[in-house]
Amino acid sequence: MSRIKVCINEYYKRKDGEALVYLVTYLRRKKVTINTRVKVDPDRWDAVNAIVKGKGKEIDDINLMISNCRSRLNNIFVEYRLRHRELSTEMLLKEYATQSDCSSFYSFFAEILNKKKGLNAENTIKTHETLLKKLKEFCPNLMFPDMTSDFVNDFQKWMKVEKKNNANTISKMLRILKIYINEAIRRKFMTDSPFNQVKIKRIEADREFLMPEELIILIDKYKGTILPDIYRETLRVFLFACFTGLRISDVREVRMQDIQKETLVFKPVKTSNINKTLRIPLTNPARMLIRDAAPNRVYGRIFKMDTDQSINRKLKDIFTGIGMNKHISFHCARHTFATIFLREGGKVQILQKLLGHYSISETMKYVHILPDDTEEQIKVFDRFL
């Protein structure tokens, strides 16, 4: 283990009278000095214990910063030793300048998550933040060596038993955790994945959707005059998604300038980091809903929308009020668009383009949930008699 000394430059003081704290270590018998950028009052410096003497929050914070700097340098030595990599002075200085405290899995997680912001959809970021919050609640201090198959199994059990999370939530949390584990392995902070021993159960979510006659009931409800404005606005955006297949994040961001010759042309929010543009022809119902939402607007967002949670609550109220017994959420609109499109004779390949799926297998899931029209469809052979 390399010895690390913490000291101050007593011979050079800044204009404010404070001195900088340095870390001193040796690499291949050569002295390496690192400026921590932490400033202290030389008169309060305890050279024996390498801390600032005194009491109070400010003193505690300064000592914590010094301790973190020392730990950060020590972690670099540990990481290189565990990864059996040779550490040069140049690499040591570079690692210290750029590397976060990656012995902590949470520091690593936060670093990667921060890079995803602006690239991934807001809801995706929130889901990743939820996982981080759950992990910290389950295990306040988590280091890479702790990330074993036993840890993952215990975390999975804790989510189920203590947090009462359903199978879908647990599966989603583990899939996201696996993303970060794979990135840690790619960066050589880990050598083996705990998911080599732990298999994630793939849970097929229930794809609730509306039948054509149910969609007509909702349209009639929207056209009526008995709905309060806040519910009418919610139903409007839901119906728009039923006629376009858009996710709630896309409906929220779609703008008037995205409409080109009766076609909606835009990049989906969920895949905004990938150069993919969707082109969705606007049907008569979709155009009507746009006119209602923005009758005199030529620029800016089309729809006025509450939070996702508020919209889903209002949708449940609306469906309950008209006696539709559905496990409803906004995503039901996307499923409705897909199932009605296929049921009315639309091609799976075209639906794939409209929904923005990269894999045809993802679109094929809608084929499997279509209502069984076998008895009616087989009657096409009656015409041969």
Task: Pick 230 or 369 by higher pLDDT.
Answer: 230
CA–CA dist 168, 268 (Å, integer): 24
Least confident residue range of 98-102, 166-170, 309-313: 98-102
pLDDT at residue number 102: 46
- Which superfamily does CATH assign the domain made up of 212-376 to? Intergrase catalytic core (1.10.443.10)
pLDDT of residue 24 exceeding 90:
yes
CA distances (Å), origin 374, targets 212, 336, 337, 379: 18, 20, 21, 9
Exposed, middle or buried by CB within 10 Å (0-12, 13-18, 19+), for 274? exposed
Domain residues of the chain, as ranges? 4-98, 105-196, 212-376
- Residue 380 scores a pLDDT above 60: no
Average pLDDT over all residues of the chain: 85
Confidence of residue 162 (pLDDT cuts 50, 70, 90): very high
Are β-strands 263-266 and 259-260 bridged in parallel, bridged antiparallel, or unpaired?
A: antiparallel
Output the pLDDT for position 13.
Answer: 66
Give the model's pLDDT for residue 93: 85
Residues forming beta bridges with residue 27, ordered by sequence position: 30
The answer to whether the pTM exceeds 0.75 is no
Binning pLDDT at 50, 70 and 90, where does residue 318 land? very high
Structure-token pair, residue 366: 């809608």
Per-residue model confidence (pLDDT) at position 291:
94
User: What number of residues does the chain have?
Assistant: 385
For residue 147, count CB atoms less than 10 angstroms from its CB and return exposed for 0-12, middle for 13-18, buried for 19 or more: buried
Mean pLDDT of 275-299: 89
Residue among 9, 85, 72 nearest 42 (CA) = 9
Q: Round to whole Å and give the CA distance between 205 and 217.
A: 26
Which residue from 73, 65, 72, 83 is spatially nearest to 25, judged by alpha carbons? 73
Q: How far apart are CA 339 and CA 335, in angstroms?
A: 6
Second CATH level (architecture) for the domain 105-196: Orthogonal Bundle (1.10)
Per-residue pLDDT reduced to its tens digit, 35-70? 888 888 898 999 999 999 988 878 888 888 888 888
- The position carrying tokens 């509306």 is 210
Q: Say what the pLDDT of residue 368 is.
A: 66
Q: Residue 140: is its pLDDT beyond 80?
A: yes
pLDDT band at 273 (very low <50, low <70, confident <90, very high): very low
pLDDT score at 152 = 95
Sign of the CA dihedral running 154, 155, 160, 163 = positive
The fraction of the chain above a pLDDT of 90, given in percent, is 40
Main-chain phi, psi angles of 277, to 5 degrees: -115, 130
Over residues 143-152, the mean pLDDT reads 87
Q: Are 239 and 219 in contact (CB under 8 A)?
A: yes
Is pLDDT of 188 > 80? no
pLDDT score for 372:
59
Q: How many CA within 13 A on the CB side of residue 377? A: 8
The answer to whether 105-196 and 212-376 have equal CATH topology is no
Residue 377: predicted pLDDT: 56
The pLDDT value recorded for residue 333 is 93
Of the candidates 255, 239, 302, 240, the one whose C-alpha atom is nearest the C-alpha of residue 266 is 255
| pLDDT for residue 53 | 92
Q: Is the pLDDT of residue 19 over 50?
A: yes
Is residue 74 classed exposed, middle or buried when 0-12, 13-18 and 19+ CB atoms within 10 A define those classes? middle
- What digits encode the pLDDT tens for the residues 340-372? 998 888 899 999 999 888 888 888 887 766 665
**pLDDT over threshold 50, residue 235:** yes
Read off the pLDDT band of 29 (50, 70, 90).
confident
Structure confidence at residue 1 as a pLDDT band (50, 70, 90): low
Distance CA 89, CA 27 (A): 7
Residue 322's pLDDT band, with cuts at 50, 70 and 90, is confident
For range 165-186, the mean pLDDT: 91
Amino acid at 157: K
